[in-house]
Amino acid sequence: MIIPKLALRNLLGAGLRTWLNVVVLSLSFVLIIWLQGLYIGMGDQIKEAQIDVDYGGGQYWHESYDPYDPLTLEDAHGAVPDPIQNKIDKGEATPILIAQATIYPEGRLQVILLKGIDPAQTVVNFPSQFLVQENGEIPALIGTRMAKSAGLKIGDKVIVRWRDAQGTFDARDVYIAQIMKTIVPAVDQSQIWIPLETMRELMGMQNEASLVVMAKDIEELPVVSGWNFKSLKFLLADVEYLIKTKKTGGSIIYMFLLLLAMLAIFNTQVLSIFRRKKEMGSMMAMGFTRGKIIQLFTLEGAFHSVLAGIVAAIYGIPFLVWFAKKGWAMPEGYDDFGIALGEKLFPIYTAGLVFGTVMLILIVTTIVSFLPTRKIAKLKPTDALRGRLS
C-alpha cells in the first residue's frame, strides 16, 4: 500500500506539470465518450426510425426487386404468394407496389417512384390513413423533401405519368392529400404514395406487390419461392457500415488528443527518471528493489489517468448530461443526404462505452508510463546515489 500512497503524493507534489497532463488527458476522456456516444445515438436513431417507418420486422422482396437498380423496377412485381397473403390478412404484413413514374409540376418533368400502400395498414408507422379515397380523385401522400423539390402543397393537383403492366402510358391527376414530415428520406425523396388498390387497378397488377413489409417481432416467416426475405440485419447493414465509418473518422480526432496526452506523460516520466536518480538510489539503499521502483514510477504515470478520470467526471458529466438532453441540432439541408438523421442528434452513453474508455486510457497511460521506467532495471544503486544512470 505504501507504493500507491507514495506515487500519489509524488504526483500531486509535481504540481502544475501533473495538472497540465491531467487536464489534457481528461479532455480525451470526455471527447471519446462524447463522440462515441454521438455515433451510437446516431446509429440507434437511424435504425429505430427506419424500422418504425420503413423496414418493420423485415421485408419480403420480389426476386427481381433491387432498390439500388432502378432498371429492375419494371419487372419487380408479382402476385403475393398465399403464405404471405395470410400474414397480410391477419394484419401482420403490408404489401407495397413500386413503379417508375414521371410528374409534371408546373410543366417541369421530374422522375419519381410511385408507391402504393394500403391506407388501412398498421404494420409500419406511416401516415397511410391520409390515402383513403373519398371523392373519386386519387389522393397522394408526399414527404416534406418531395414537396420542397416539386414545389407542391396540400390540395395541389399534379399529373403523374407511368406505364402499366403492358407497357402502355397512363397519366392521371392526383391531389396532394397530405405532406408528411418524416426523418426517413427512403420514404420521402422523389416519391409519391397513392392507395395500393388504386395503383394495382391502374397498373393492371391485381394482387401484386414489389415488396411486403412484415410487422415487428413476427417469428414465423414463411419460405416462398420467387420472394426473398430480407432481415433487419441485411436492411440495416448500410447504417451499420455508415456508423462504423463515422466512428473510425471520429476516432482520428480523439486519438490525436490522446497521442498528445500520452506524449506529455511519456515526457514527464523520462524527465522524472532523469531528475530523480538520487531519490531512486536512496530508495534502493533503504531496501526498495528495482521492481518496486519501476512499480512506483509506472503507478505515478498511471495515476494521471485516474486523476484525469476524476477531473473529466467533474466537468464532463454535467456537460454530457446536458448534451444528451439538448441534442445536437443538425444543419439545414443535412437530411437531404438520404440518411434518417432527424433535426437533432441525441447521444447515448452506454456503460460499456464509459467502462471501455476508462480501461482504454488507463491501459494506454500505464503502458506509456512503464516504457521509460525500463531504464531503472539497469540502474546500479551506487550510480543512482551519485546521480548517474548506468
Binding site for other proteins (CB under 8 A): 70-74, 100, 102, 104, 106-109, 111, 159, 161, 163-164, 166-172
Shortest Å distance, C-beta 98 to other proteins: 12
Task: Provide the 3-class DSSP secondary structure of residue 1.
Answer: coil
Shortest Å distance, C-beta 136 to other proteins: 13
- HSE-up (13 A, CA, CB side) for residue 368: 25
The residue among 33 and 140 lying less far from other proteins, judged by its C-beta, is 140
The residue among 169 and 337 lying less far from other proteins, judged by its C-beta, is 169
The residue among 135 and 166 lying less far from other proteins, judged by its C-beta, is 166
The residue among 111 and 285 lying less far from other proteins, judged by its C-beta, is 111
Shortest Å distance, C-beta 158 to other proteins: 10
Task: Provide the 3-class DSSP secondary structure of residue 231.
Answer: coil
Q: Could you give the CA distance from residue 321 to residue 105 in angstroms, rounded to a whole number?
A: 47
Q: Could you give the CA distance from residue 270 to residue 375 in angstroms, rounded to a whole number?
A: 10
- Please, what's the b/e burial string for 11-41 (b: 16 or more CB within 10 A of its CB; e: otherwise)? beebeeebbebbebbbbbbbbbbbbbbbbbb
Shortest Å distance, C-beta 168 to other proteins: 5
Q: Could you give the CA distance from residue 38 to residue 249 in angstroms, rounded to a whole number?
A: 13
Instruction: State the maximum Cα–Cα separation within the chain, in Å, rounded to a whole number.
Output: 103
Shortest Å distance, C-beta 185 to other proteins: 21
Shortest Å distance, C-beta 198 to other proteins: 12
The residue among 76 and 180 lying less far from other proteins, judged by its C-beta, is 76
The residue among 79 and 111 lying less far from other proteins, judged by its C-beta, is 111
Burial, 89: exposed, middle or buried (Cβ in 10 Å; 0-12, 13-18, 19+)? exposed
